[in-house]
Every structure is written in C-alpha cells, then in structure tokens.
Amino acid sequence: MKFKLVYSSLIVFALLLISMGVRSKDHPCLLLTKNGVQDIRKGIEGKSLFNKTLTKTKLEMDAVLAQPVVVPMPKDAGGGYTHERHKKNYEEMQQMGILYQLYQDDKYAAFVKNMLMEYAKMYPALPLHPVQMSNYRGKLFWQGLNECVWLVHVSQAYDCIYDYLSPKDREYLEKNLFYPMVKFFSEDNKATFNKIHNHGTWAVAAVGMIGYVMNDNDLVEKSLYGLSKDGKGGFMRQLDELFSPDGYFTEGPYYQRYSMQPFIVYAQAIQNNDPQRKIFEHRDHILEKAVGTLLQMADSNGAFFLLNDALYKTWRNTELVYGTDIIYNITKDKTLLSIAADQNRVILTEAGLAVANDLLKGEAKPFQQKTILIRDGADGSQGGLGVLRMEDGDNQTCVLMKATSQGMGHGHFDKLTISLYDNGNEILKDYGAARYVNIEAKNGGHYLPENDAWAKQTIAHNTLTVNETSHYDGKLKVAEKYAPTITGFVDKENYKEVSATEENAYEGVKMERNLIMVKPEGAKNPLIVDVFKVKSMTEHQYDLSYYFAGQLMSTDYEYDAFTTSREPLGTKEGYQYLWKEALGKSKKSSASMTFLNDSRFYTITTSTNPETSLFLNRIGANDPSFNLRNEPSFMLRDRSKDRTFLTIIEPHGNFNADAEKTSSSASYIKDIRFTDVDKTQIEIQKINGDIIKVDTRNKTCVIKKQQ
Amino acid sequence: MKFKLVYSSLIVFALLLISMGVRSKDHPCLLLTKNGVQDIRKGIEGKSLFNKTLTKTKLEMDAVLAQPVVVPMPKDAGGGYTHERHKKNYEEMQQMGILYQLYQDDKYAAFVKNMLMEYAKMYPALPLHPVQMSNYRGKLFWQGLNECVWLVHVSQAYDCIYDYLSPKDREYLEKNLFYPMVKFFSEDNKATFNKIHNHGTWAVAAVGMIGYVMNDNDLVEKSLYGLSKDGKGGFMRQLDELFSPDGYFTEGPYYQRYSMQPFIVYAQAIQNNDPQRKIFEHRDHILEKAVGTLLQMADSNGAFFLLNDALYKTWRNTELVYGTDIIYNITKDKTLLSIAADQNRVILTEAGLAVANDLLKGEAKPFQQKTILIRDGADGSQGGLGVLRMEDGDNQTCVLMKATSQGMGHGHFDKLTISLYDNGNEILKDYGAARYVNIEAKNGGHYLPENDAWAKQTIAHNTLTVNETSHYDGKLKVAEKYAPTITGFVDKENYKEVSATEENAYEGVKMERNLIMVKPEGAKNPLIVDVFKVKSMTEHQYDLSYYFAGQLMSTDYEYDAFTTSREPLGTKEGYQYLWKEALGKSKKSSASMTFLNDSRFYTITTSTNPETSLFLNRIGANDPSFNLRNEPSFMLRDRSKDRTFLTIIEPHGNFNADAEKTSSSASYIKDIRFTDVDKTQIEIQKINGDIIKVDTRNKTCVIKKQQ
C-alpha cells in the first residue's frame, strides 16, 4: 500500500510537471547530447582528427588547471588585459565542460564550477563597463556583443557540468549570474535583442541556449520569436530576413563568418532539443546554403573576400569549423570534408566525430570553387555579388563585382566595385576595414575614425566616384533604400560575365558595369575585360580607381611625378587621405601601367581621351596617427556627360627571384577599342598582330591570328 | 714482328704525348667522372632525393626535347627574350649532358650537339652585345659575366657528350666556339680574367673547366695562376685573398652565394682531375669554411642577410645546393644533410648521390645557427660581422652588426649598421640593393641609379650619419683603405655582445657601437641593447636611423605629422629620397615608438635630450619611376660634440588576427638610463617596478625584482 501511494504521488507529480510545461531534461543537451557523449567515448579512433583535436585540447586545458582561476573586475577595452582574460575564461570553461563529459574527470567540472561561482559573486553588483565607446555597452566587456558571445560559450559549459552541480549550486548560479545576464540581454537591451542584425543573433542564441539548459521554455520562445514572442524579432525572423535565398548575409562575408557561429551553434541546440522544429530544413535549408555560399566567397587560400568592414579571415577560423562540421553532419556533403581537412581540427561534438571518422575513411571529395552569382536581399532582389573564376588552386584567377545592397552599418559606399585575386594573391584590392582589432593603442581595438572617413567612402574602392562625392552622399539611410540591379550573368567555359547597373547612387547619373573574364585560345592566363559606362544629361567629374597591390614597373604614358613635394588629392569624402604621386596624360587612345606582384606581372590597359587625367595616388595623407596602410592606386579622371571606360586587366609573365628568371614582363596588348557604336564588341590588338575579339552580345571570345 | 712494331710505335706515341704534356683523358671528368657514373647508375635508390631530382629533371628535359632548338641572335638585356633564352639553353645543355651519362640515351647527347653546333656557327662572327650598359660586355649576353656562367655550364655539357661526338665535331666546336670564347674571356678581357673579384672567379672557372675537358693544361694553368701564370691573378690567389680566414667573402653574403658556385664547382673539377692539388685542403680548408660561414649568414628561414648590394636569396638557391652537396661529400658533416633536406634536391653527381643516400639512411643532424663573429679581410684584420642569436627556428632572435671592410664595388657606406631578425621576419631592415634583377622595364634588369644614389648611402642604413654626409664622403677608393675594428665579442648563455669602433669614416669623429643581446630571467623574448657612442672635438649633426618593418602603433612622445604636404628630408647623399612624415620631441629623458610586425609587437625606446629631434621618415621622395620600396624609418637627430645613444629594442606580446587575441601590446619599459659616468652600466626600469641591470663591464644581465 505504501509503495502504491508513493507511486501514485510520483505520477501526480509528473503530471503536475507536464501541466506546468516543464519536462525533465537530460544533460548535456546543447552541442553534445547524453547519447552522443556515449557514442563519442566509444568512437574515438587513435589517428582521427577528432582525437588529435581532443588531445591538443586536453594538453592545453591540463596546463590551465595548474593556474589559478582569475575573474578580474572589468576595466579594459578590446585587447586589454581584463577583456582578453574574460575571453579566455569563456573558452576555457567551454572546453573544460567538454573534457568533463568525455573523460568524466571531476577536475574539469570543478574548474568550471569554481569559475562560474566567481562570476556569480561579481555579476549582480556589476555596473556597465567603464569603457564608453559602444552604444551597446556590456558589463563584463565594453561591448554587450562580447558578453553574448560569453554566454553562448558558457551555456555549453554549464550544460556539461549541470549534473555535477548540486541543485543548490545551480539555483545560486542561475539566480545570481544567468538570469540577471539574460535580463540584461533581453529586457535591458530590448532593441538589440529584437534587432534583425548579427548583434541580435548573438543575443538570442545566448538566451535560447541558456534557456534550454535551465529548461526554461519561455526563454527559448523569446529567443525564437522576439521578446514579445510575436515573431517581429528573434531567431526565426533573422533566418528569414538576414539571408538572401542564396544564403548571402546582408553584411557581407566578414560578418557572415562572424554570425555563422551563433546561427549554426544555436540551430544545433534547437535540433537536439526540439527536433520537430526541423530548423535545418527551415526556408529551404537556408543554413546549409549560408555555409556553402560563405565558402564560395573565399580566395584560393580560403581567405574571405574583403568586402565592407572586413579584416583578414579564412575558412580555417573557428566559426567555420562549427559551420563545416555541423552542416556536414546534416548533409553528408563529402566536399565539406576537404574543408575540414584544411581546417585540421574538428569541434568536439558528435558532428566533429562524424567528420573525423569519415575523413579517416577517405571519403573527402575536392571542394570546388565556382563561378557564381550570389543574390542579396531577403527575396533575392537586392542586387548581388558576381564571382567569376577560371582554373583551380593557386592558379585560380577570380574576379568579383559587388553589386549588393548597402549591408547595414558595416556596409561601404562601393556600388559596382571589383576585386581581383590571382596566383594566390590579392591583386586589385578592397581596403576592407580601418581597424586593428583588439589592439589597445589603436582606438582601443575598435573601428578607427578612418573607417568611416576613409574605408567606407567610394574613393577607397575600385569603382566610380562622381564629383568627389561618395555614393548616396555617404548617407546610410538613403543607401539602404536602394540596391543595384544585376543585368547579366554568364558562365561559359571561356567566357564569364557579370553585369549590373546602379542608377540611384548619384542623382541623374546612370552607371553600368560589365565585368568579363575570357580565356583566348592558347593564352596562358585569363584576361579581365572591364566596361564601365556612365551616362548623364549634365557634365560631371568621373574618377575610376584601381587599387593595385605591387610595385609599379612602367607606364606607356608620360607623367609628372610629385617628387619633391606632395599634396592630398582632395579635401573630403576620403579624398583627403590620398597623396597625389603622379599625374599624366596619354598621347594615344589608351594608356597602360604594369606592376609586379609576387611572381607575376599585371598590366592595366585602359581607353583614354586626350583630356583623361591619369593619376597615381597613395593612401596616407591626413593620417597623423599612421592608422592606414600606404597602398597605391591608379586612377582615371574625366569630365563629361557620358563616358565609357574600357579597361583590360592582364596577368602575364613570370618573375622568379630565386632563379633570377623573367618571362613576358611586358604586356602583349598594343591597342584596345570598341568596334561598334553600342560598345558591345571589343577588339584587343596584340603586339604580335593577333586580334582578340570579345563579343558581349553573343558572349564569345575569339582570336584572329595574324596572317 | 709486326705486332712488336705496332707496340713500339704505340709506346713512342705515348711518350710523345707525355712529352707534349698531353695525357689521354677519360670523360666525363668535371663534376661527373667515368667511375662515378658507373656507381650512380647502380646506386640510384627508388625513394632517394637523388632519384626524385633525377626524375624531375628527366621529365622537364623530355618536354624540352619536343621543342625546337633555338639559338637567337643576342639582342636583349637582362630579363629580355634572348637573354633568358641563352640562359635556358645553357641549363638545358648541362642537364641533357647529365641525362645522357646516366641513361645512355643518344637523344640527350644529340640535343646538346645540335645546340652547340648552332652556337659554333654563330659565335665566330658575333660582335659585342648591342646593349651597352656594362663595362664588361659579352657577346651572347650584355654582361661578359653571364657568358662565363654560360661556359661553366656548357663545359659540363660538352664533357658529358665528349665521347659521343666525332673527333671532327669536337675539332669544329673547339675551333669555332670554345677557343674563341676562351680567348674572349682571357686575352680580350685580361683585366677581368686576372681580377681578384667574383667576375674573375667565373672567368677562370669557365676557362679552367673547358681546359680540363679539352685536355689543355695551359688553360688550366692560366686559370689557376693568372694569364701570365705568375700567381698574381687566377683561382689560387682568389682563394687566398677573397676570403677571410673565417671564410667570409669580402663582398658580403649575396655575392658570396653567387661566387660560391664557380668556386665550388671548379674546385670539384680540380679535385677530380688533379687530386694531388688537394684543393679542398688549401688554406686550412678555406672552401669548407666559406660554405659553413655562408650558411651562418642566414635568418631562420634560410634567407641570407641583406648586406651591401643584395636581393632576397636563400640557401635553397642552386649555388648552395652545389656548395652543400660537394662539401658534404668531402667532410661528411651530417648537419649539412639537414640543409640538403630543406633544399629538397641534390646535384646529379656523385656528391649529390652521397647526400641523398645518407639522408635516406637517416643520418641528418640538425644544423645549428650560432652566435658567431665572422672576421673580414684576407688576414682577418679588416673588421667583421658579429651575429648574436638566441633560441632556434622561428623563435630565433638574431641581431647583427656589420663592421666589415667596404667589400669592393658592391659595398655600402654602412659602417656599424645593424639588422634585426625575429619571429621569422626581418624587423630592422637593411634596404639591400635597388634593383629588379632581370626585369627589363627597370633599367634592363641592371642596378638602378638609386642603388648608388640611395641604397649605398649611409642614411639608408641603421647607423649614424654625420652632417648629412655618407661615410668616407661616399668615396669607394677612400673607404677601401680602412675598416672598423672589432673591440669585443661575448657569447654567454644570456648575454651576447659585439662591439666595434670606426674612426675614419668622418674626420675627427670617433664612433663606437656596442650591440648587446640579453635575456633577463623570466623574460619571454630577448632584449637588444644598442649603445652608440660618438665623440668629436667639434659640434656635428648626428642622425641615427632605424628602418623598421611594420605598422606604427603608437609613440610615447608628441609629434607634428606632415599630413597635408610633404617634403624631402634633405637634398643629397640619399637624404633626398626620404619624405619627412613627422617630427617630434620628448618631454622626458627617453622616447619610445611601438610597431606591429606580423604577430609580434616591437618597441624602440631611446634616450633623448630635450633638443633631440625624433623623425618618422619614409622612403619614396625624388623617385619619379617608382623604383624604391616605401619603407619607414625612425630617426634621432642631435647636434653636439659627444653623444651616446642608448636604445633598447624590445620584442613583445602577440597579435593573433585569426583568433582576434592580443597580449602585451604595450612596452614593459618605463625608463632607461646609464648609472655610471663611463656609461657601462645600463638600468632598464620596468613598468611593474622591476629593474633590469645590464653590466657591459662584467657582461651580465640581472633583474632586480620589485619588493
């Protein structure tokens, strides 16, 4: 009877729990699962990449265990001691948590517990961070953003040691640390939490993940649908709006990489806890597309295209290790294994184990970098990024046109700008961001003033600046209303093209750019044909820039070099940062300049009028703190109503410094011209008499050999 | 009887030959020998580096066989078509010759024969090369030098196919090609042939080697002892005078590398033909020392120090493959095998086979880069090069002081200059040569005018310029009369030092530099202490430069930056090539500037007077053809009689762009000072209160911890 009574009570209690919506929960439940951990413990093979990563992690963390736990009072900005210490702390806790699950050794759990207790002691009384450089200040960090990143990691650590902790400890931590932090991220910073922006993604992922661990479904719902759970904010709307149907994240590849981590990590947690949500299938598998598209936005070394505010990052970065492993475990796309092999590490979860085991079985297939048009905008109508490629690996030539929407606050005023990668190097450059991330001496590691004043401005890009004014007058709100239109995309074997127009960047000025990559029969390297048409009813000053990486070898026109005194190119909108180094004019109908980058020569040959001014500029004027890189540009200037710039970019020859051998150091182009009034037929006359004919109507490139 | 007659006739003929000094000769006899070839054919192992190199060579040459033989009329300067074609031709002939010997396939010999015949047809009527840019013009090449290099290679090819050719063919080739060429190198260019200079070495090696092949002992004697065989010129005197007792070649490492090839290759030929000369034992094994010393004059990546006229070269260059393999085969020094492994190829001779086989047996030992004083001058009394090192591999810190003699025409006016390599990078730079070797657009590949006007001048170096005038007034003839004096060299575990004085570079001005590397207890990186004392009875302007590689992070003094207009630093002796970027003064008794290079920070902290001008300069003024690299310098200027510059160069911290992590980005030095009147005791006060005491009398470095 007694037994029966207890039994009934239990049933009643369970029913009560269910009626309260509180299911009991196994831990871990976020990236690792209780079942998964069993599998991993069994499935670790000696030589696998999983085991290699695990061994390395264990070695590092065992060394950390010998050190005291330090949770300093927040004080420094990015790069400073307390900032870096709190970053290290969340990484260490996350890794200790995993080690505890895999090795079942209490020392790892104790580390996490002790550190969490320190944080819980400190957090309730913590004011806003003393460094006031962000509109979104945190408490542990100068940016609230870093604090969300902290919780995305620490929720995993807490998840891993959940069962190790006593209910009392858990209550203490949740009351003093996690709930106050959740409140800070959500109610106290409502705007960011509900924002359709990467800051919002980190915030909702942090709240949703700790929600899962604490078994608080209310937090999960808020993270998915916004603070009011009305779907106007939250993770689902971010998935719907921040990516284009092709998986392009509107801020560009640098921030796509950054936000990939909370997207993918939180999606994995949702999948493990609420598989019925089919989160990876959402919106026609948008997360798989996002990872795939991001991998396409990299050069042959795996470095992401520098677009908008961007610094050097590769697909070997941690965020992409998450992305590659977790998506591989969903799709089993064997080409992702090649990326994983290049990353040379895996995440220490079931997904990482699957990658490592399949790599060990030799299942990897080559990852193919493609010629691809990546549409921007939630519905794909906000322009896009055209990427043209020929050849593979280091021999790849890749040219791209950015004709995307503005990309929010990190966007640049750079409509129709182009970049060229070749021979494993960046040849025509996009400046990227003006920032030394986490270096205190440089504005506390934050974006430098020159990021707005220089790097975002139109003149800092390989595109057209009209009347020394940036696109949309440099106004973000205006720029966000418009996007270029992609007018053509061709991917034939020896003829590739992307074309776009932009009619709103300047009032009464229509810009159109056709970027074509051809490989004439018998040619060693592809040629880039760049046709930039600008039309207006009134006269304007047109400046077309090419930022080239390398040392100038020669020009075929004469110039005056400013050798004994130097002045800036202008006074505003980025022009004040350029020194004029030389100014010339061509006596022919074209002008060319040749530069050397690494082991290859490049010649830019461009059509000119007698009045066309040919500038050689260099970044670095008005830079008293030496914040900028002193890179050179070749710039064409004309005053007219209509102007069509025809430019050929020609990689050629070889320079072997070691062997002191040089071949084809001079351009093979003698002249270039259009042969029809519509300017659709281009003739490139070679020095040897051959003529290369590029037909942009029929999309062909043929070579007429000299008789 | 008939037999006896024949027999007697043979004896008579043989005696006749001997009396004529003509011994019969086996072929090949230069780098390969008849016996050696037998061994190689037997000894090629499947996996060896020899076989790998051979397979690669065979693949390349088999492809060449499919192409027509082209021997164009000489026309172009360095980098131009005919120049490069003739270079390729000699390499191809050399390799085809070897393949003929090893595979005994006539197609290789036929290739060499056909090409030689083309050369023999053309050569007798060939005028001097049309490009008139060298005082030492050739016929096939614009420089006679290249032509000697041609024959050093082609003599080997001829040697390899000697037995394949008919006596008639040989006679034709020798009469029309080789003897005329020998005459051109020796009698027609007597001065160069007899010159104690790398040009002379290539000339005598070429003549001696073809002499051995043609069995012409007269040519060999002339090559060894000069055209008059009096020992005033020739190979033996070059061995005696061009190297110091430590094996330092007076022109510096760049030219030491270049001339190593004829020295070593010709010595191997001498060894094979006249072993009784014991050429490798000559002058206490000077050639072994020369190779060993050259390998010490490289950074941790194997790139040779940029001193005097120098461009980027490494020990992976062909010249060093010869040097390493041939010397290894003499000394069996197992550390050379590590160099050979890094070179990843061997020469296709007995020496290369020995290297490859011993590598395969796992006999390689690590090659140790050392702290070393390398004396200059035939008797070792002409100053020297002090190289201080701590740690190994990429973690190596290496600082050097150049206190050598002028080094002939390729020498720079750079007494007591220093360079710093750290973290696998060049940190304090020597400009090296102003030249784009073999790039036609840049002065035909020759040294640029800026080489004399800028690169050789004192202000282009990390040393002291007095009164805006170069050392010895920039006069080679004067400079060649003097050399600095090495006054100290210390190699203790945590204290290394090289000191030198120079009293003749400026009249009435005595310069003394102490360069010290210390590793304070507990420090992560070594510190460089640089004490530059200058004394004079009269007042002068003293400019001390540091050319730093990297982006300026911060200074601890205020400066005026020339942000809207820029002017050159001076008007002559190299000053005209520097833009003044900023000028400041320190309000303390020291000034510091921090820059970032790759993943590490560097701070230069230097003692100042209130009047000390602190310049930030950048190379690039007065450079209308964009011939120079726009590198920055930090420069101190004082006017006084005596002045002691105390400078600390401090590598610190870490910047991980990928992981966005930064540590110790700020200098840990608060102040620096001498604590005795003789300026032998240096105190470096750290921000944390610790004091580092460097005692240059007792050669110690101790740290006094804060209480």
Within a domain: A353? no
In 3D space, the residue among B495, B529, B525, B549 whose CA is nearest the CA of residue B652 turns out to be B525
Instruction: Judge: A655–B439 Cβ closer than 8 Å, yes or no.
Output: yes
> Phi-psi bin for B318: left (phi > 0), alpha (psi -120 to 50), beta?
alpha
Q: Which of A480-494, B77-91, B221-235, B686-700 has the lowest mean pLDDT?
A: B77-91
In this model, does residue B12 exceed pLDDT 80? no
For A329, residues 6+ apart whose C-beta sits below 8 A from its C-beta are A350, A351, A354, A355
In this model, does residue A18 exceed pLDDT 60? no
Instruction: Judge: B561–A623 Cβ closer than 8 Å, yes or no.
Output: yes
Radius of gyration of chain B (CA): 28
User: How many Cβ atoms from other residues are within 10 Å of residue A574's Cβ?
Assistant: 26
Within a domain: A342? no
Mean pLDDT of B508-524: 96
| pLDDT score for B23 | 57
**In degrees rounded to 5, what are phi and psi of residue B523?**
-75, 150
Query: Of B160, B180, B214, which marks where a domain is finished?
Result: B214
Optimal mutation site among A662, A663, A667, interface B, most CBs of chain B within 10 A: A662
SS3 B112: helix
| pLDDT score for B393 | 86
Alpha helices by DSSP H, A133-194:
144-161, 167-173, 179-185, 190-193
**Which range of residues forms the domain containing residue A419?**
372-704
Instruction: Judge: A84–B663 Cβ closer than 8 Å, yes or no.
Output: yes
Tens digit of pLDDT for each residue in A152-171? 999 999 999 999 999 999 99
Catalytic residue among B86, B153, B197, B410: B410
Nearest-neighbour CA in chain B from A303: distance (Å)? 11
* Amino acid, res. A137: R
For A2, residues 6+ apart whose C-beta sits below 8 A from its C-beta are none
CB-count exposure of residue B439 (10 Å: 0-12, 13-18, 19+): buried
CA A230 – CA A232 distance, rounded (Å): 6
Optimal mutation site among B661, B663, B687, interface A, most CBs of chain A within 10 A: B661
What would the two tokens of residue B348 be?
């296709």
CA A588 – CA B268 distance, rounded (Å): 57
SS3 content of chain B, % helix, strand, coil (to 5): 40, 25, 35
For the sheet containing B681-686, what is the strand order?
Answer: B669-674, B681-686, B691-695, B700-704
Name the packing angle between helices B350-360 and B318-331 (round to 10°): 80
Mean pLDDT of B181-209: 96
Mean pLDDT of B486-509: 98
For residue B107, what pLDDT band results from cuts at 50, 70 and 90? very high
- Positive or negative CA dihedral for A654, A658, A661, A665? positive
SS3 B416: coil
> Phi-psi bin for B407: left (phi > 0), alpha (psi -120 to 50), beta?
left
Nearest-neighbour CA in chain B from A374: distance (Å)? 25
Indicate if B162 belongs to the active site: no
| pLDDT score for A1 | 44
Mean pLDDT of A581-604: 97
Mean pLDDT of B313-321: 96
For residue B4, what pLDDT band results from cuts at 50, 70 and 90? low
Instruction: Judge: B553–A594 Cβ closer than 8 Å, yes or no.
Output: no
In this model, does residue A639 exceed pLDDT 70? yes
Rounded to the nearest 5 degrees, what angle is found at the Cα of A419, between the Cα atoms of A418 and A424? 160
Within a domain: A72? yes
| pLDDT score for A19 | 46
| pLDDT score for A8 | 56
Within a domain: A437? yes
Across the interface, of B438, B441, B561, the residue whose CB is closest to A594 is B441
Nearest-neighbour CA in chain B from A80: distance (Å)? 8
- What ipTM score was computed for the predicted complex, to two decimals? 0.91
Per-position DSSP letters for B327-353, written without gaps between them? HHHHH--THHHHHHHHHT---SSHHHH
Burial per residue of A638-668, b for 16 or more beta-carbon CB atoms within 10 angstroms, e otherwise = beeeebebbbbbbbbbebebeebbbbbbbbb
Indicate if A410 belongs to the active site: yes
For A622, residues 6+ apart whose C-beta sits below 8 A from its C-beta are A568, A576, A577, B563, B564
User: How many Cβ atoms from other residues are within 10 Å of residue A568's Cβ?
Assistant: 19
Place of tokens 């510059």: B645
For residue A419, the cross-strand partners are A400
Mean pLDDT of A334-348: 98
Place of tokens 């009351």: A175
For B77, residues 6+ apart whose C-beta sits below 8 A from its C-beta are B83, B131, B133, B142, B440, B444, B445, B446
In this model, does residue A10 exceed pLDDT 70? no
For residue A22, what pLDDT band results from cuts at 50, 70 and 90? low
Nearest-neighbour CA in chain B from A298: distance (Å)? 15
For residue B21, what pLDDT band results from cuts at 50, 70 and 90? very low
In this model, does residue B18 exceed pLDDT 50? no
Catalytic residue among B255, B266, B328, B421: B255
What would the two tokens of residue B605 be?
């902290």
> CATH number of the domain that B105 lies in?
1.50.10.100
CA B560 – CA A450 distance, rounded (Å): 19
Query: Of A185, A214, A243, which marks where a domain is finished?
Result: A214
CA B707 – CA B705 distance, rounded (Å): 6
CA A268 – CA A280 distance, rounded (Å): 8
Count of domains in chain A? 2
- The three-state (H, E, C) secondary structure of A212-274, written as one string: HHCCCHHHHHHHHHCCCCCCCCCHHHHHHHCECCCCCECCCHHHHHHHHHHHHHHHHHHHHHC
| pLDDT score for B80 | 86
Catalytic residue among A162, A164, A254, A255: A255
SS3 content of chain A, % helix, strand, coil (to 5): 40, 25, 35
Query: Of B214, B246, B272, which marks where a domain is finished?
Result: B214
What would the two tokens of residue B647 be?
């400078």
Name the DSSP letter for residue A73.
Answer: P
| pLDDT score for B1 | 44
Mean pLDDT of B556-561: 98
Q: Please provide the average confidence, as pLDDT, over all residues in chain B.
A: 95
Place of tokens 């599998």: A39
For the sheet containing A397-404, what is the strand order?
Answer: A372-375, A383-390, A397-404, A417-422, A425-428
Across the interface, of A551, A660, A666, the residue whose CB is closest to B437 is A660
Within a domain: A541? yes
User: How many Cβ atoms from other residues are within 10 Å of residue A612's Cβ?
Assistant: 24
What's CA A303's distance to the chain center, in Å?
9
Q: Any idea how long chain A is?
A: 707
| pLDDT score for A331 | 97
* Amino acid, res. A629: R
Within a domain: A434? yes
Within a domain: B476? yes
Q: Which of A542-551, A695-704, B433-442 has the lowest mean pLDDT?
A: B433-442
Cis peptide upstream of residue A28 (ω within 30 degrees of 0) = yes
What would the two tokens of residue A211 be?
């929600």
Instruction: Judge: B629–A567 Cβ closer than 8 Å, yes or no.
Output: no
Within a domain: B332? no
| pLDDT score for B660 | 83
Across the interface, of A314, A568, A626, the residue whose CB is closest to B551 is A626
> CATH number of the domain that B547 lies in?
2.70.98.70
Closest chain A residue to the Cα of B567, Cα to Cα: A565
Mean pLDDT of A302-313: 96
> In Å, what is the CA distance from B137 to each residue of B133, B143, B145, B440?
8, 5, 8, 17
Alpha helices by DSSP H, A20-143:
34-43, 49-65, 81-103, 106-122
Rounded to the nearest 5 degrees, what angle is found at the Cα of B627, between the Cα atoms of B622 and B631? 80
Mean pLDDT of B613-632: 98
For residue A618, the cross-strand partners are A579, A632
| pLDDT score for A17 | 47
CB-count exposure of residue B311 (10 Å: 0-12, 13-18, 19+): middle
Alpha helices by DSSP H, B66-127:
81-103, 106-122
Across the interface, of A84, A581, A616, the residue whose CB is closest to B661 is A84
Closest chain A residue to the Cα of B666, Cα to Cα: A441
The fraction of chain B above a pLDDT of 90, given in percent, is: 90
Beta-strand pair A632-640/A383-390: unpaired
In this model, does residue B218 exceed pLDDT 90? yes
CA B624 – CA B626 distance, rounded (Å): 6
pTM of the model: 0.92
Instruction: Judge: A441–B563 Cβ closer than 8 Å, yes or no.
Output: no
User: How many Cβ atoms from other residues are within 10 Å of residue B13's Cβ?
Assistant: 10
**In degrees rounded to 5, what are phi and psi of residue A450?**
-70, -10
